[in-house]
């Protein structure tokens, strides 16, 4: 079982996630701490910060506050139109990143983000063969 | 089955189709109009999202996820069990 504690600072966009694992009959083990901003991720090892691969950023996309903050700070989002999602029309924003295009679905009535979508490259074939859809709201 | 019953059935189905089509067309038109008026500026939309989500520069957010056996089965979702705004 994992116990996570995550802090997010809206001013800097940095989040800190501490994960402590407990096995039946063992642990709890020392927590693993990761620090991320909009583009980078690091694992804390004693007093050092070791860089993590780009895939470590994916769990950040599950945090709607971080996504909204990153998109607003980047300033390169554009309106890509409207699409039907969960029975209602949503405003779709799009943003080009080095890892591919990301799309953010907003509810036009109340402004809440309802879906984050990204194209994920296949681990073997390289091309954007699969897509990951993450629901970040209701 | 009497012919009159069949006629009524198809007449009712036709009326339902007309009403449903009218509603769908109106719904699409409203959606397009809303899209043009509400999505002129992506920055404005993101600013509004920040506002409705309570994202303030002076606040830090704390999430705590409690031990969840279901987490391994739903790896793409994290259950946010508590949310604290801390000035």
DSSP string, chain B: --HHHHHHHHHHHHHHHHHHHHHHHHHHHHHHHHHHHH-S-HHHHHHHHHHHTT--TT-EEEEEE---GGGGT-TT-----EEEEE-
Note the pLDDT of residue A13.
Answer: 86
Note the pLDDT of residue A56.
Answer: 83
List of chain B residues whose C-beta atoms are within 8 Å of the C-beta of residue A75: 43
Asked if A3 lies within 8 A of B67 by C-beta distance, the reply is yes
Which of A4, A69, A110 lies closest to B55 in CB terms? A69
- Residue in the block written with tokens 């950040």: A60
Note the pLDDT of residue A129.
Answer: 45
Note the pLDDT of residue A92.
Answer: 92
Measured between CA atoms, how close is A114 to chain B, in angstroms?
11
- What residue ranges of chain A have pLDDT lower than 70? 122-123, 126-138
pLDDT digits 0-9 by tens, B71-84: 433 333 344 444 44
pLDDT digits 0-9 by tens, A48-57: 899 998 888 8
Nearest one of A69, A85, A129, A79 to A103, comparing CA atoms: A79
Note the pLDDT of residue B69.
Answer: 42
Note the pLDDT of residue A3.
Answer: 80
Note the pLDDT of residue A8.
Answer: 82
Asked if B78 lies within 8 A of A62 by C-beta distance, the reply is yes
B8: contact with A, CB 8 A cutoff: no
Q: Could you tell me if the ipTM is greater than 0.85?
A: no
Note the pLDDT of residue A50.
Answer: 93
- What residue ranges of chain B have pLDDT lower than 70? 1, 23-24, 26-40, 56-87
pLDDT digits 0-9 by tens, A8-28: 887 788 888 888 888 888 878
A131 is written with which tokens?
Answer: 């897509």
C-alpha to C-alpha distances, B83 to A103, A114, B60, nearest whole angstrom: 26, 18, 10
List of chain A residues whose C-beta atoms are within 8 Å of the C-beta of residue B58: 11
C-alpha to C-alpha distances, B22 to A89, B18, B30, nearest whole angstrom: 18, 6, 12
């Amino acid at each position: 079982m994992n116990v996570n504690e995550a802090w997010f600072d809206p001013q800097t966009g940095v989040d800190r996630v501490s994960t402590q694992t407990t096995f039946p009959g063992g642990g709890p083990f020392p927590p693993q701490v990761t620090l991320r901003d909009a583009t980078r991720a690091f694992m804390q090892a004693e007093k050092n910060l070791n860089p993590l691969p780009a895939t470590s950023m994916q769990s950040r996309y599950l945090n709607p506050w971080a996504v909204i903050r990153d998109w607003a700070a980047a300033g390169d989002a554009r309106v890509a139109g409207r699409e039907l999602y969960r029975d209602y029309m949503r405003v779709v924003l799009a943003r080009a990143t080095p890892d591919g295009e990301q799309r953010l679905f907003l509810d036009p009535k109340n402004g809440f983000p309802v879906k984050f979508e990204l194209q994920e490259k296949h681990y073997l074939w390289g091309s954007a063969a699969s897509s990951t859809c993450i629901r970040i709201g209701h | 089955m009497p012919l009159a019953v069949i006629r009524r059935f198809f007449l009712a189905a036709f009326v339902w189709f007309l009403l449903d089509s009218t509603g769908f067309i109106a719904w699409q038109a409203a959606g397009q109009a809303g899209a043009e008026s509400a999505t002129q500026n992506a920055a404005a939309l993101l600013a509004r999202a920040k506002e409705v989500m309570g994202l303030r520069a002076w606040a830090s957010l704390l999430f705590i996820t409690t031990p969840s056996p279901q987490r391994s089965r739903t790896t793409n979702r994290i259950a946010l069990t508590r949310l604290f705004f801390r000035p």
